[in-house]
């Protein structure tokens, strides 16, 4: 049996040494060249407030790089956890899986775009958000339905919601042709996370951005166990991580052309924090090894006649090794290797027929395959062809958009039989209107029909092949409003949003756990009714003190409604009825103090609404302090944060206890 080479901690020490040498080199070779006038402008920039972007034709929520530190965010999952309608499924610890579910539809219905190109996982259909660090991220936006721009990849039209991650775009000049950011995060559970970023202007049109970081942590934290009689303290095991990631981007911009080329490599050795069952300490030694590489490029050209062309290409290879030294089998271990590849090509054209009317056509081709060292594995290959026609029309105060997606999915296997091909049509209709003289207020609504086909794991994993699985379909309905206005006086701005939605799902794909394998089945019909409400503002408490406040509330009722099934009128697991997220901060000049609170009502962890399957409600608080200052031409940022401020004992996923109080200190210099 092929053996997995354990993580080499000597290699990690070398990485730390490289970062140290690079940072020392930067300090000893830097020349201070900015004028006093520039220093004053930087001070103004630090103090200034940015009003949230106007709401799009569909509900959207945005967080920028300036806000990450206010939310005490360490990765993408942390940054978006306060969004309305969002559930982050967290399996605990710094190495635990973290996925996003929007409006009760599950992680497979949310497309994660990285500079407009989807991060795809044909094996399990879910993106682990803990693997996406924030060092190179400029902005994250969550769109319900799809982004408003009709010039985009066909895949961006094909999901119930889109999480769009935009990476840093350099804004350099001939006088300042480079920008260097170096920093380190350290704190509880043995966390050590140095990082380095270089932005370099090559000429008027070309620039490069290079990012690198390493992260190590033992992930060992204490948690409480309450059996109804006694409360005991145990120590979490299996959450250790050793991660290295490097990302490089080449960017070209001129008046009518935009080009970006990304290469990204992610290498991690992570422990698997097992389930705590019957208050026992889970077995240790389970490991997941990821070796992920992708290369992607995007090109956009605009002609003077209004014709636009968008081309995106991507190659990705994800290797996953899973090792369990205590698996009950004849060999006593479980050693599984998976390797998936994707070849992706997209092209889109958009044309302005009139100044208020545009049309577009997008086509995507994707080839995915999966290899594994499992007995009798079928080695599936899937070819997906997507075509989308879309249009956008502005008539006075009305904005109307529509699109029609056609999906052709063809699947083959090397051994055995496979599922039939799928040919699916999925329309979307969207509208917004500004009905009053005050154009800051708008009403909006949309209808969208979406699908998801079973993943490779759903159909072929391990000893069970589920070839009778049908695609899952969902009809989405939304009606809402938004108000976004810049003010003078006590409030600098005010943003209000409210949306009511209804999702009707057929052929719901549900994973049924079992002792060793588990399997997926179609579980009938599901009704999801919900309300999302958001408020965001900034108050001028005095000439020096500013108060930032953001409050989001979500109501979700997700029920099985197939009267022929035993789970009729039971709630879907892990979807709370109520969620409230509050973020508040007070800043004065160089210093800011921020507080974040998330409250989640009780959830069921099975497809059974019996009280015995209830996971208790919880509320978690975080706090942070940020200090920014200038020394010469350099900006220094020092911050300290506390997660789970009141040391609450809670679980997001049943039997996966979350960490208690923890601390993190960060230091960053921008040269």
pLDDT tens-digit map of 82-117: 999 999 988 877 777 899 999 999 999 999 999 999
The total of structural domains in the chain comes to 1
Does the residue 2 lie in any domain?
A: no
Residue among 198, 127, 130 at smallest CA distance from 168? 198
Task: Spell out the residues 6+ positions from residue 141 whose beta carbon is closer than 8 angstroms to its own.
Answer: 60, 61, 62, 147, 163, 164, 166
Residue 329 backbone dihedrals phi, psi, to 5 degrees: -140, 180
Contact assessment for residue 300 and residue 338, using Cβ atoms and an 8 Å cutoff:
no
Q: What is the pLDDT of residue 41?
A: 42
Model pLDDT, residue 29: 39
Given this model, what pLDDT does residue 55 score?
63
Q: How far apart are CA 212 and CA 198, in angstroms?
A: 9
356 compared with 42, residue with greater pLDDT: 356
How large is the average pLDDT for residues 377-394? 96
| Residue 307 located in a structural domain | yes
Question: How big is the CA angle at 66 (ends 64 and 72), to the nearest 5 degrees?
Answer: 95
- Which strands make up the sheet holding 137-144, listed edge to edge? 60-64, 137-144, 161-167, 110-114, 117-118
The whole-angstrom separation of Cα 342 and Cα 347 is 17
Q: Note whether residue 4 is domain-resident.
A: no
Apex CA 24: angle with CA 23 and CA 29, to 5°? 100
Burial class (CB in 10 A: 0-12, 13-18, 19+), 9: exposed
The answer to whether 530 touches 566, Cβ cutoff 8 Å, is: no
Tens-digit pLDDT profile for residues 592-604? 999 999 999 999 9
Q: Please compute the mean of the pLDDT values over residues 407-420 and round it to a whole number.
A: 90
- CB under 8 Å to 566, separation ≥6 — which residues? none
Look at residue 233 and tell me if it is in a domain. Answer: yes
Q: DSSP string of 456-476?
A: HHHHHSTT---TT---EEEEE
- Please tell me what DSSP assigns to residue 75: B
Q: CA nearest 121: which of 323, 317, 265, 345? A: 317
Q: Is residue 543 part of a domain?
A: yes
pLDDT at 28: 35
What sections of 418-514 are H helices per DSSP? 456-460
The span from the CA of 622 to the CA of 78, in Å, is: 11
CA–CA distance, 602 with 573 (Å, rounded to integer): 10
Q: Give the tens place of pLDDT for each residue, 463-509.
A: 566 788 999 999 999 999 999 999 988 999 999 999 999 999 999 99
Residue range(s) defining the domain that contains residue 344: 9-670
Q: Look at residue 653 and tell me whether its pLDDT is greater than 90.
A: no
Asked if the model's pLDDT at residue 340 lies above 90, the reply is yes
Length of the chain: 671
Q: Is residue 574 part of a domain?
A: yes
Query: What pLDDT score was predicted for residue 462?
Result: 62
Q: What is the mean pLDDT of the chain?
A: 88
Which residues lie across from 432 on neighbouring strands? 399, 444
Q: Give the pTM.
A: 0.90
Chain position carrying tokens 């080479």? 5
- Summarised one tens digit per residue, pLDDT across range 289-315 is 999 999 999 999 999 988 999 999 999
Specify if 1 maps to a domain: no
Q: How far apart are the first and last CA of the chain?
A: 50
pLDDT band at 512 (very low <50, low <70, confident <90, very high): confident
**35 CB-contact burial (10 Å; exposed 0-12 / middle 13-18 / buried 19+):** exposed
User: Is the model's pLDDT at 49 over the cut of 80?
Assistant: no
Mean pLDDT in residue range 509-515: 72
Tokens 């014709």, located at residue: 307
Average pLDDT value for residue range 261-285: 82
Identify the pLDDT of residue 283.
65
Please report, for the domain that includes residue 77, its CATH number.
Answer: 2.40.170.20
SS3 content of the chain, % helix, strand, coil (to 5): 10, 55, 35
506 vs 606: which has the higher pLDDT: 506
């Amino acid at each position: 049996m092929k053996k997995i080479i354990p993580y080499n901690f000597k290699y990690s020490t070398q990485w730390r040494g490289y970062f140290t040498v690079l940072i020392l080199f930067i300090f000893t070779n830097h020349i201070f060249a900015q004028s006093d006038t520039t220093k004053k402008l930087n001070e103004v920039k630090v103090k200034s407030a940015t009003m949230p972007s106007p709401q799009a034709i569909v509900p959207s929520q945005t967080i920028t790089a300036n806000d990450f530190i206010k939310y005490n965010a360490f990765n993408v999952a942390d940054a978006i956890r306060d969004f309305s309608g969002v559930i982050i499924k967290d399996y605990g610890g710094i190495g635990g899986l973290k996925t996003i579910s929007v409006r009760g539809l599950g992680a497979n219905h949310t497309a994660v775009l990285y500079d407009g190109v989807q991060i795809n996982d044909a094996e399990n259909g879910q993106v682990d958000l803990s693997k996406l660090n924030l060092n190179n991220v400029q902005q994250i936006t969550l769109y319900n339905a799809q982004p408003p721009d009709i010039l985009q990849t066909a895949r961006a039209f094909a999901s119930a919601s889109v999480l769009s991650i935009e990476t840093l775009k350099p804004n350099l000049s001939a006088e300042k042709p480079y920008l260097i950011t170096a920093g380190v995060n350290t704190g509880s559970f043995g966390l050590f996370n140095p990082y380095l970023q270089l932005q370099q202007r090559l000429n008027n049109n070309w620039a490069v951005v290079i990012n690198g970081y390493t992260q190590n942590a033992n992930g060992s934290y204490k948690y409480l166990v309450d059996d109804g009689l006694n409360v005991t303290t145990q120590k979490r095991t299996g959450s250790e991580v050793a991660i290295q990631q490097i990302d490089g981007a080449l960017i070209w911009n001129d008046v009518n052309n935009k080009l970006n080329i990304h290469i990204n490599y992610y290498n991690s050795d992570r422990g698997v924090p097992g389930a705590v069952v019957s208050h026992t300490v889970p077995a240790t030694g389970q490991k997941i090894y990821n070796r992920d590489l992708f290369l992607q490029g995007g090109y956009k050209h605009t002609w003077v006649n209004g014709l636009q062309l968008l081309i995106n290409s991507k190659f990705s290879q994800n290797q996953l090794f899973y090792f369990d030294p205590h698996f009950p089998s004849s060999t006593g271990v479980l050693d599984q290797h998976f390797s998936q590849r994707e070849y992706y090509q997209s092209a889109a054209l958009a044309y302005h027929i009139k100044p208020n009317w545009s049309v577009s056509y997008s086509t995507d081709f994707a080839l995915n395959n999966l290899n594994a060292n499992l007995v009798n594995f079928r080695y599936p290959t899937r070819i997906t062809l997507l075509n989308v026609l879309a249009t956008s029309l502005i008539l006075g105060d009305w904005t109307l958009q529509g699109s029609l997606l056609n999906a052709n999915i063809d699947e083959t296997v090397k051994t055995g039989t496979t599922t039939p091909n799928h040919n699916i049509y999925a329309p979307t209709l969207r509208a917004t209107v500004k009905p009053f003289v005050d154009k800051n207020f708008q009403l909006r609504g949309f209808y969208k029909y979406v699908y998801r086909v079973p993943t490779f794991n759903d159909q072929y994993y391990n000893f069970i092949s589920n070839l009778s699985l049908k695609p899952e379909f969902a009809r989405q309905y939304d009606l809402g409003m938004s108000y976004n206005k810049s003010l003078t006086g006590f409030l600098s701005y005010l943003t209000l949003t409210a949306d009511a939605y209804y999702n009707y799902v057929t052929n719901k794909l549900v994973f049924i756990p079992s002792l060793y394998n588990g399997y997926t089945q179609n579980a009938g019909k599901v009704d999801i009714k919900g309300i999302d409400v958001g408020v965001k503002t900034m108050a001028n408490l005095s000439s020096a003190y500013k108060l930032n406040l953001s409050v989001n509330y979500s109501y979700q009722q997700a029920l099985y409604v197939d009267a022929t099934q035993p789970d009729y009128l039971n709630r879907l697991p892990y979807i709370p009825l109520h969620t409230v997220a509050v973020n508040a901060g007070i800043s004065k000049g160089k210093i800011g103090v921020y507080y974040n609170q998330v409250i989640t009502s009780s959830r069921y962890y099975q497809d059974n609404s019996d009280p015995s399957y209830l996971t208790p409600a919880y509320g978690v608080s975080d706090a942070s302090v940020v200090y920014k200052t200038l020394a010469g031409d350099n900006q220094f940022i020092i911050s300290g944060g506390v997660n789970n401020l009141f040391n609450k004992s809670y679980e997001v996923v049943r039997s996966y206890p979350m960490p208690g109080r923890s601390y993190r200190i960060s230091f960053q210099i921008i040269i």
